[in-house]
Structure 1
Amino acid sequence: MSDGGPKPTSIEHVNLDVLENTLSFYIRTMNIAVSRDLDARLDGLDVARGTGKITTLLLVDSHPGIRPSVIAQIIMKDRSAMGRLIDQMIDHDLLVRQTSARERRAHELFVTAKGAELAAKIRPIVTKQSNDFFSFIVEEEQAQLMDILRRAYRKMVGMK
């Protein structure tokens, strides 16, 4: 409810209301800022813009034959969104999908030569971007924050 006072003319004059003390607000806005910064660093590469492409590429490169359902659980995407993401990556010649020899109804994913080359190229970019972006947080606090977020993430996706 407004008190009829002066309208804010800059962010210094804005009260965040209940958002000031909600983790979800800061996590959502940090996600936007981190994503924008990473997209700028990956500009022109097939994994820029959107969510899940980097993780998918790196997981398939690290785990040849991984199933799309496993990746979907890790990146928290539903089946149809995961299918669209994989189709897009196949169209860009980053991945191939094969029917499992052991379980005919299951699919397995593998990187192409182009996908492996891109994965090797983006690993240092992703690492440097994270280090640079959060450089204003001292190392000890980064380690604490990483521990908290890692535990929360693993609980949400059902990892041990």
Structure 2
Amino acid sequence: VRIQSVPRWTPPAEVRRDNPPPPVDASDGGSDTEDNPGAVNQRLWTRQHPAIEIDQQRDVISDDGVEVYSYLRHMRIDSVIILGVHTNMCILGRSFAIRQMVRWGQDIMVCRDLTDAMYNPAMPPYVSHARGTDLVIEYIEKFWCPSIESIDLA
């Protein structure tokens, strides 16, 4: 089933949730470079990682939250595990991601060791990149959804 062929579902009324400020300041766009932590990475991404194979028969790709929600309902998928980058941006804030799915009542969890935050250690709270990612995961666990580790997927 291709995602565009799935009938559109109207998501339920959103559950109102507090949305406290995130624990790391990524207002500068973050940093992807350990060798230059004060610089913003200006390279543009044009594809997934070469080791990630997208199976055209099984996998679906969308950046539309209602389309993803419709697919989940159509396929009777009750629980979703989300992973990837960047935890404090796309994984948390996109229309198909944690905040929106929680607001629609979707059971979702984040795979904590398969994510990475967009964070520049030269910005508050002035911690290492790894600690910044940990802070974002702790924030998600406290305010949005539970987490699992990749070993739990086996």
Structure 2 length as normaliser, TM-score?
0.25
| Greater relative CO (CA pairs within 8 A, separation 6+) | 2
Structure of higher CA gyration radius: 1
Greater strand share, structure number: 2
Greater helix share, structure number: 1
Structure 1 length as normaliser, TM-score?
0.25
